[in-house]
Structure 1
Amino acid sequence: MARAPLLQVNEISLTFGGDPVFEDMSLVVQSGDRLALVGRNGSGKSTLMKVMAGLVEADSGDVIVGPGVSVGYMEQDPDLTGFDTLGDFAAHGLDPSEMYKVERAGEGLKFDPARPVSTASGGERRRAALARLMASEPELMLLDEPTNHLDIEAIRWLEDELKATRAAFVIISHDRAFLRELTRATLWVDRGVVRRQDIGFGGFEAWRDQMWEEEDMQRHKLNRKIKAEARWAVEGISARRKRNQGRVRALQDLRAERASQIKRQGTAAMALEAGPKSGRKVVEAMGITKAFGDKTILRPFDITIQRGDRIALVGPNGVGKTTLLNMLIGKEQPDGGEIKQGTNLEIALFDQARAQLDGDMSLWDSLTGDPEMRVSGKADQILVRGQPKHVVGYLKEFLFDEGQA
């Protein structure tokens, strides 16, 4: 006898004050499913996962969880309000005899259960949330970007745990290797519709391209038919006009069908151009050291970075990769040694905490409020690689629409 699905989403629709995020969307998660949930940024993946977890209520439709099925959800920004330590949060709901599960997960994910929540970083909070989910052992796990803030060793531990689990899971991740290794089926969210392919993420791109090719062929046929019918409408014999009003209405329906089709979103135009040519030597560090209290971050270290070098800083969480980077670019001073920067440098930093962004500001104000980007005297134009550009036009290059500006 076939088992009931773990979870069903039946014809849900959801709108956030504008175009529908989903419309009459349905999907099923079965026992043993290992699903990649994919789609462009902004397509609604995280929102759909929150609907599945019961945290967001759809405008219409139903979400049905199977009898006795427990669903665990790990969100991108967990709320640890009311908990003193990371361990308290991770162990919430567990019997004291099951504390070993939290300790085991803490060891694999490299977080300290005794760390006070008030001093924990965003990465530590996320690792505690992931440990809580793994320790609770639900029948269905919903994982939104679980590898963010994990180092290579912790990702490998999580990968091994998910391979061994008997639970079903749905994963959102930008880690393509992680998805290829773990998933057996793919849910693709595209323009408010979800499609399922019972092949893991490794086969997604070929499937997606095939779907788009078929879509383009159908659109081409529709355009040809509209063109032929429009020619008939212009050249048709007036004596038959009354008899052929049905055909005119059919042409109007074809045009309405074409107008209702949602265009595919383009690719973000993330162009990077070199700044003014620097000297050959970009940064030279000689015997630099760094420690925080009794914790040594860096013993005497030398490095010379030349123009054109591409360098990866790797290592476990907390060993000091970001600290070293900040020292090399002059944001932080070493305890000992010397750092010399080359001539004519322009340094751009993309930091993991997004500290340069004010969460209360709009996208528009965030860009035009930066004196280094704003075109003098104009509140709607910014300098992009030295050229003035309207702020909305620039945001569209990164797939934001005008309403989000």
Structure 2
Amino acid sequence: MSVIQVSDLTFAYEGSYDNIFEHASFQLDTDWRLGFTGRNGRGKTTFMNLLLGKYEYSGTISASVDFEYFPFPVEDKEANTLDIVEGAVPDLQLWELMRELSLLEVSDDVLYRPFASLSNGEQTKVLLAALFLKENSFLLIDEPTNHLDMNARRLVSEYLSRKRGFILVSHDRAFLDRCVDHILSINKTTIEVQKGNFSDWWDNKERRDSYELAENERLRKDIRRLEDSARQKSGWSHEVEKTKNGTRNSGSKLDKGYVGHKAAKMMKRSKSIEQRQQSAIEEKSGLLKDLESSESLKLSPLLYHKSRLVELDNVSIAYGERLICEDISFSVDQGERIALSGKNGSGKSSVLKLICGESLAHTGTLRMGSQLRISYVSQDTSDLKGDLSGYARDCGINESLFKSILRKLDFARVQFEKDMASYSGGQKKKVLIARSLCEKAHLYIWDEPLNFIDVLSRMQIEELLLEYQPTLLFVEHDSEFRRNVATRVIEI
């Protein structure tokens, strides 16, 4: 066991006036299974790059372990998988690698196949197994669940729960709960470390937020009461002071010393109230700094004139001579929220693309409602570039509404001026979702919409779908999201 000590860390990207980290100090144990959470753009990947020594910073980061990043780059993906692993782990013992792969339920024959021929899940498992064979290393695991099906997520989480010494960036709540014992969270103004899994951290956060909201309201009322009292007593003291030169009602001369003393006493009490008021203001200013804003999103789904929107009858899809899926039969009725489930490569995305009108070679029957309007969110964000205003114009959506939705999804206004190509993976996915929410459609088709998107935004999207109940056909491997949102699951 050793400690990773972060002291007075301050960092900003070159040319930026905003610090990503400012005087941050905390320490981590190298035996922890550490979940790393925070909204998109807060600096999770940046912090891991700082640990890897990629940027200059002020402050200190000290550690007695080597940092290894997942996924490490594979330059020649046509090379045999074993050669790639041996290049990353020079002192590799083959039996140790096979032991790790067996824990991940990966067959040994993948080692003798080109890396490019492996599925996304197999590639993820092989790279993880290789990194955990490195001695005296602390792993920085950056979003391993993206594009993994639910079974692969379960296997990887079980594997990680047997390991120690890593930081795991993931926005999958169930995945984090299964394999971490501490949480490192980047909040709006602070960085904190807590013992427990994600659910423990979230429960603590909700309790703290509730307490601070109640305390903020109490202090707000106190401040208002003290302000009224201070004004009243200050007014009284001035009125009493003015009577020093007057006379009593009986006609006898006033005791100016007594009246002055009384006015001074009232003024002293007024000053005391002002001090209490200032103290309450200062106490109030220390609250709610890390309260995350999660304004409600809105959606305007269109009502279709028939109950049935889409029907597939024994549909099979092929790419060239390769059969992707066969004999798929299901229907989509108005108001349903249907999740397509299945292993990676089972054809889920192909089914969605076929319904969206993409020309794919297929057999069987696809029936679509006439004049059906569809809003589609793709897995792929690689074509996003240029500014948001131009994107909104090209998509024919309301720019103000589009940017308002992005603001609610925690986009800073400064992001509006940047090229979308520079956005993080989560920010790009939010652009696609915000565009879809601006589109009035009978059917929303979303293909893995939550990849890279932070937990709080996922919850906002869940609440939106449950409130407005659009007709939705989607693929999503986040088990919590699917359990909360789907009215029906169809296995492909």
Tell me the TM-score range normalised by the shorter chain: 0.7 to 0.9
Q: Residue 346 of structure 1: CA displacement?
A: 1.4
Q: Residue 274 of structure 1: CA displacement?
A: 2.0
What code does the residue aligned with 1:187 have?
A: L
Candidates 132, 153, 156, aligned match of 1:155: 153
Higher relative contact order (CA 8 A, sep 6+): 2
- More helix as a share of residues: 2
Query: Aligned in 2, Cα 1:116/1:155: closer, same or farther, shift over 3 Å?
Result: closer
Whether 1:365 aligns to 2:363 is no
Paired with 1:346 and 1:104, the residues of 2 have a C-alpha distance of 51
Q: Residue 393 of structure 1: CA displacement?
A: 2.8
Query: Aligned in 2, Cα 1:285/1:61: closer, same or farther, shift over 3 Å?
Result: same
Paired with 1:306 and 1:232, the residues of 2 have a C-alpha distance of 63
What code does the residue aligned with 2:182 have?
A: A
- Match in the other structure for 1:326: 353
Are the aligned partners of 1:14 and 1:22 in contact in 2 as well (CA < 8 Å)?
yes
- Match in the other structure for 1:378: none
What code does the residue aligned with 1:72 have?
A: E
How does 1:248-327 map onto structure 2 within 5 Å?
262=289, 264-327=291-354
Q: Residue 205 of structure 1: CA displacement?
A: 1.9
Query: Aligned in 2, Cα 1:322/1:195: closer, same or farther, shift over 3 Å?
Result: same
Paired with 2:90 and 2:25, the residues of 1 have a C-alpha distance of 36
SS in structure 1 opposite 2:341? Answer: coil
Paired with 2:63 and 2:389, the residues of 1 have a C-alpha distance of 41
Whether 1:174 aligns to 2:171 is yes
Q: Cα deviation per residue 1:302-339 (whole Å; 9 max; x = unaligned)?
A: 33332233322222212222112212332132332231
- Match in the other structure for 1:144: 142
Q: Residue 134 of structure 1: CA displacement?
A: 3.6
What code does the residue aligned with 1:369 have?
A: D
Ranges in structure 2 where 5+ consecutive residues have no aligned partner: 239-262, 417-492
Whether 1:349 aligns to 2:376 is yes
How does 1:2-401 map onto structure 2 within 5 Å?
3-5=1-3, 7-16=4-13, 17-58=16-57, 60-66=58-64, 69-74=65-70, 79-81=73-75, 84-85=78-79, 87=81, 88-95=83-90, 97-98=92-93, 108=104, 114-115=113-114, 129-136=127-134, 139-165=137-163, 167-220=164-217, 223=220, 226-227=223-224, 236=234, 262=289, 264-354=291-381, 357-358=383-384, 360-371=385-396, 373-374=397-398, 382=399, 389=400, 391-401=402-412
Ranges in structure 1 where 5+ consecutive residues have no aligned partner: 375-381, 383-388
Q: Residue 399 of structure 1: CA displacement?
A: 1.8
Q: Residue 390 of structure 1: CA displacement?
A: 5.1
For the aligned residue pairs, the C-alpha RMSD in angstroms reads 3.8
What code does the residue aligned with 2:381 have?
A: R
TM-score when scaled to structure 1? 0.77
TM-score when scaled to structure 2? 0.65
Query: Aligned in 2, Cα 1:395/1:248: closer, same or farther, shift over 3 Å?
Result: same
Query: Aligned in 2, Cα 1:9/1:53: closer, same or farther, shift over 3 Å?
Result: same
Query: Aligned in 2, Cα 1:33/1:147: closer, same or farther, shift over 3 Å?
Result: same
SS in structure 2 opposite 1:317? Answer: coil
Q: Residue 42 of structure 1: CA displacement?
A: 3.0
Q: Residue 207 of structure 1: CA displacement?
A: 0.4
Paired with 1:307 and 1:204, the residues of 2 have a C-alpha distance of 38
What code does the residue aligned with 2:23 have?
A: D
Query: Aligned in 2, Cα 1:55/1:79: closer, same or farther, shift over 3 Å?
Result: same
Are the aligned partners of 1:363 and 1:404 in contact in 2 as well (CA < 8 Å)?
no
SS in structure 2 opposite 1:149? Answer: coil
Paired with 2:80 and 2:394, the residues of 1 have a C-alpha distance of 37
Paired with 2:388 and 2:127, the residues of 1 have a C-alpha distance of 29
Paired with 1:390 and 1:180, the residues of 2 have a C-alpha distance of 35
Paired with 1:228 and 1:86, the residues of 2 have a C-alpha distance of 75
Paired with 1:303 and 1:228, the residues of 2 have a C-alpha distance of 64
Number of aligned residue pairs: give it. Answer: 379
Are the aligned partners of 1:278 and 1:344 in contact in 2 as well (CA < 8 Å)?
no
Q: Residue 80 of structure 1: CA displacement?
A: 3.7
Q: Cα deviation per residue 1:14-39 (whole Å; 9 max; x = unaligned)?
A: 23424433222222221421222222
Q: Residue 188 of structure 1: CA displacement?
A: 2.4
Are the aligned partners of 1:91 and 1:102 in contact in 2 as well (CA < 8 Å)?
no
Q: Residue 120 of structure 1: CA displacement?
A: 8.4
Are the aligned partners of 1:188 and 1:194 in contact in 2 as well (CA < 8 Å)?
yes
Are the aligned partners of 2:125 and 2:156 in contact in 1 as well (CA < 8 Å)?
no
SS in structure 1 opposite 2:152? Answer: helix
What code does the residue aligned with 1:94 have?
A: V
User: Higher Cα Rg: structure 1 or 2?
Assistant: 2
Q: Residue 63 of structure 1: CA displacement?
A: 0.9
